[in-house]
Structure 1
Amino acid sequence: MTEAITRTLAVGGATLTYDVRPGETGGDVLFLVGSPMDATGFTTLASHFTDRTVVTYDPRGAGRSRRTDGAAETTPEEHADDLRQVIETLGEGPVDVFASSGGAVNALALVERHADLVRTLVAHEPPTAQVLPDREAALAVCADIHATYQRDGMGPAMAKFLALTSRKGPIPADWADEPAPSPADFGLPVEDDGSRDDPLLGQNMRGCTSYQPDFAALRAASTRLVIAVGQESEGEFAARSGAGIAAGIGVEPAVFPSHHGGFLGGEYGQYGAPEEFAKALRHVLDDTGR
């Protein structure tokens, strides 16, 4: 695989770090976007697209991209503007984007504002509660996870987050009355280390999950939009959200292999079905009518 060229870009409130892997035959730019996951999580997926120039980046406040404004939380709109500036700096015209999880939320916010920069967006399981029939309960749970993190630290908050993301079906209104999951049951630390800079639980939890899509702007966008959900994710929070966004845009969701992290090939000790996932992504990207 072509060696990655690492670059930095100063933007308002942060210094972004991104990587460019030139394609062996040139090829269109494919921008792989996550949040709060940084570029590390796309190592395996990028290896399946050596015919393209692959760009990955660390979102502000995650990995190598350091905040300079001291802000404790980040919005999808702020991330979208970061993505805009990276793409414009590349100078390659409209790019194809595969975005997963919070990255998919941020990429949708980008297309709402700057559709001319994105040829095709594949938004994989964007987790916003706003499109769910149980939105009030889901938003309350997300707010509680953030509050738990601020009060008790990473272990208790992450245990609640994992319980939320693995739950099948709607969030009950009495979720808060259920016993809180134990961090130890998930192999998480019980003791609070005092830090409060976690990019998931602290910086992005509330902003990402409360994102309200502008469906009129998305439907009018020149960007080809594909909303993807995992085959094994049916009924889970992010997959239900993806289906809700697809319905709002007026498209059928594309079903990709595996689960929420289906593209992972051992990153963070997690495995999906990366080869099958990459084939599905390539099929979608190639099926553009160009």
Structure 2
Amino acid sequence: MTELETYTLAVPGAVLHYDVRRNDASTEPVLLLIGSPMGAAGFVTLAGHFADRTVVTYDPRGAERSKIPGEVAESTPDDHADDLHRLISALDVGPVDVFASSGGAVNALALVARHPEQVRTLVAHEPPASRELPDREVVLAACVDINATYRRSGSGPAMAKFIRLVSHDGPLPAGYADEPAPDPAAFGLPTEDDGSRDDALLGRNMISCNHYRHDFDALRAASTRIVIGVGAASGETLARRAAAAVAERLGITPVTFPGNHIGFAGGEYGQTGEPDAFAATLRSVLAD
């Protein structure tokens, strides 16, 4: 594998930054590692486990180096899917393999529904497809509230609500919206509003990602091999439950990966999962 090379790609409404770790000797498809809003920096450890093939990572629109200046506007999974379509086309390498985490998994499923010819295998790890949950109405209302809190009060109060939501084990109770708001300071978050409103998670993707309606007919008919991943240590948290529901809609059995929602992390953003075991499982899945 060569040293990391960085490129930019102009897409409608944004300029994407992406990185290529090239291995010209490899006969395997290019491996695209994606998240949302997690950018390329979140996949450094995982990329290092696949030095035997070319690996591409990127920063989604609105995140990291692909920041969009100005007023916060919503970014939808269809927007991200079109970005991914253009990125894969720019690589000009034929069908790729994709490992997609969290919101990136939602976006990758949207990509495959539209352009299955571009992806050989998609491993979608814990997509928060909240519309597929039996408690969807409570979950979707919570997502709307998090976005409204962000726009009204800033990142600290909104992120505290987000952490509480994604950490909740099991279906949300009917009275969830009436529970007292969590204290941002309890999570080490700022209590003062700095006035910024450009957060990709809380401002751009919070509603559109969780509210997205997947085209399951298109996904079932796709030529792409789709694998749904769940974390062994994820319990019954929202993303894990949603992933299982997506697998059921597709008529497939989810694959269990070591660790939790960020089991692949090796210290990026201060989070560490079980990256060695996670990468070994991913390699096995891609080889099937």
Q: CA deviation at 1:174?
A: 1.1
CA distance in 1, matches of 2:71, 2:20: 28
Q: CA deviation at 1:67?
A: 2.7
For 1:251, the aligned partner's letter is: I
CA distance in 2, matches of 1:131, 1:203: 21
Q: CA deviation at 1:190?
A: 0.5
Q: How do residues 139-178 of structure 1 correspond to structure 2 at under 5 angstroms?
A: 139-178=140-179
Partner of 2:196: 195
For 2:4, the aligned partner's letter is: A
Partner of 2:11: 11
CA distance in 1, matches of 2:198, 2:192: 16
For 1:127, the aligned partner's letter is: P
**Fraction of identical pairs, as percent:** 63
Whether contact under 8 Å (1:40, 1:267) holds in the other structure is yes
What are the Cα deviations for residues 146-174 of structure 1, in whole angstroms up to 9, with x where unaligned? 00001111010000000001100001121
User: What's the secondary structure of 2:19's corresponding residue?
Assistant: strand
Partner of 1:273: 274
CA distance in 1, matches of 2:199, 2:32: 24
Q: When the two structures are superposed, what TM-score results if normalisation uses the length of structure 1?
A: 0.97
For 2:42, the aligned partner's letter is: G
Partner of 1:134: 135
Say if 2:76 is the partner of 1:75: yes
CA distance in 1, matches of 2:10, 2:71: 15
Whether contact under 8 Å (2:72, 2:198) holds in the other structure is no
CA distance in 1, matches of 2:239, 2:71: 29
What are the Cα deviations for residues 195-222 of structure 1, in whole angstroms up to 9, with x where unaligned? 0101110011001001111111000000
Q: How do residues 206-225 of structure 1 correspond to structure 2 at under 5 angstroms?
A: 206-225=207-226
For 1:50, the aligned partner's letter is: A
Q: CA deviation at 1:2?
A: 2.9
For 1:223, the aligned partner's letter is: T
For 2:166, the aligned partner's letter is: T
Q: When the two structures are superposed, what TM-score results if normalisation uses the length of structure 2?
A: 0.98
For 1:286, the aligned partner's letter is: A
Q: Structure 1 residues 2, 213: closer, same or farther in 2, change over 3 A?
A: same
Structure 2 unaligned regions, length at least 5: none
Q: CA deviation at 1:3?
A: 1.0
CA distance in 2, matches of 1:273, 1:25: 29
CA distance in 2, matches of 1:145, 1:121: 30
Partner of 2:59: 58
Whether contact under 8 Å (1:15, 1:68) holds in the other structure is no
Q: How do residues 179-190 of structure 1 correspond to structure 2 at under 5 angstroms?
A: 179-190=180-191
Whether contact under 8 Å (2:71, 2:198) holds in the other structure is no
What are the Cα deviations for residues 25-63 of structure 1, in whole angstroms up to 9, with x where unaligned? 323200001000010000000000001100000000101
Figure out how many residues of one structure are paired with residues of the other and give that number: 287
Structure 1 unaligned regions, length at least 5: none
Q: CA deviation at 1:68?
A: 6.4
Say if 2:59 is the partner of 1:86: no
User: What's the secondary structure of 1:85's corresponding residue?
Assistant: helix
CA distance in 1, matches of 2:280, 2:75: 33
Q: CA deviation at 1:71?
A: 5.4
CA distance in 2, matches of 1:72, 1:126: 22
CA distance in 1, matches of 2:276, 2:23: 19
User: What's the secondary structure of 2:64's corresponding residue?
Assistant: coil
Whether contact under 8 Å (1:155, 1:183) holds in the other structure is yes
Report runs of 4+ in structure 1 exceeding 4 Å deviation.
68-71
CA distance in 1, matches of 2:72, 2:179: 33
Whether contact under 8 Å (1:45, 1:264) holds in the other structure is yes
CA distance in 2, matches of 1:214, 1:173: 28
User: What's the secondary structure of 1:193's corresponding residue?
Assistant: coil
CA distance in 1, matches of 2:24, 2:171: 46
User: What's the secondary structure of 1:189's corresponding residue?
Assistant: coil
After the TM superposition, which of the residue ranges 124-133 and 67-76 deviates more from structure 2? 67-76
For 1:16, the aligned partner's letter is: L
Partner of 2:233: 232
Partner of 2:22: 22
For 1:195, the aligned partner's letter is: S
